[in-house]
Amino acid sequence: MNFDWGYFLEMIPMLAAKLPVNLSLTLISAFFSLMIGLIFGLISYYKVPFFTQLIKIWSSFMRGTPAAAQMFFFYYGLAKLSKLILNMSPVVAVSVIMSLNMGAFVGETIRGALLAVDDGQREAAMSLGMTGTQMTIRVVIPQALRVALPPLFNDMINLFKMTSLAFLIGLRDVMGASKIESARTFKFFEAYAAVIIIYWVITILLTQIQKYLEKRCNAIYQ
């Protein structure tokens, strides 16, 4: 079997045109997963009764089961029990699952970053008369963000790669478009090779952004 370089090169711009769908899903899910992760991380950090145990179970479930299975379970399974999910658009459904899935990982990242803040910083803040809330907002969270930035950005990169599962419930994103086109031409090798190149290039760009932000963040504390 010969690799059709002409078809491969044609596929790259055609599939890249679908990138806005993947990037939109990534940005929406990144925002909500950060919100979920921040709440979960703070609850776990302060060991809030009942909710801490509940979050442990939830995080174990979301982190221990495949995202693809979660999408099918949510969009096709729970739809039989809820009209809200039944009438939900694929974009919203994918965003919900991605946010919940990655929120569990982000929560653990934030919890670990909060624990990494030196106890002396907390003691100094309390000695200045700060309340627990003021200490968290002004002292703990800013320092924890510096620690959390690299793993959080890795989570966001994984979130972008997770968008490749969106085609499973009918979204015509990069992966969905390649599946349709390759089924028409039977040139699966070239089509999926183009998908891999597109994801690889975007991941490299995101990694460069991560390095830039890390340098800026480290420069602030030097």
Give the pLDDT of residue 1: 62
**In the 8-state DSSP scheme, what is residue 76?**
I
What is the C-alpha to C-alpha distance for residues 220 and 222, in angstroms, rounded to an integer? Answer: 6
Give the pLDDT of residue 222: 59
What is the C-alpha to C-alpha distance for residues 199 and 164, in angstroms, rounded to an integer? Answer: 9
Q: What is the pTM of this model?
A: 0.86
What is the C-alpha to C-alpha distance for residues 36 and 97, in angstroms, rounded to an integer? Answer: 12
Give the pLDDT of residue 137: 80
Q: Which residues of the chain have pLDDT under 50?
A: none
Q: What are the start-end ranges of the H helices in 73-187? A: 83-86, 90-116, 119-127, 132-135, 141-162, 174-185
What is the C-alpha to C-alpha distance for residues 154 and 203, in angstroms, rounded to an integer? Answer: 10
What is the C-alpha to C-alpha distance for residues 56 and 60, in angstroms, rounded to an integer? Answer: 6
What is the C-alpha to C-alpha distance for residues 179 and 196, in angstroms, rounded to an integer? Answer: 13
Give the pLDDT of residue 17: 95
What is the C-alpha to C-alpha distance for residues 107 and 113, in angstroms, rounded to an integer? Answer: 10
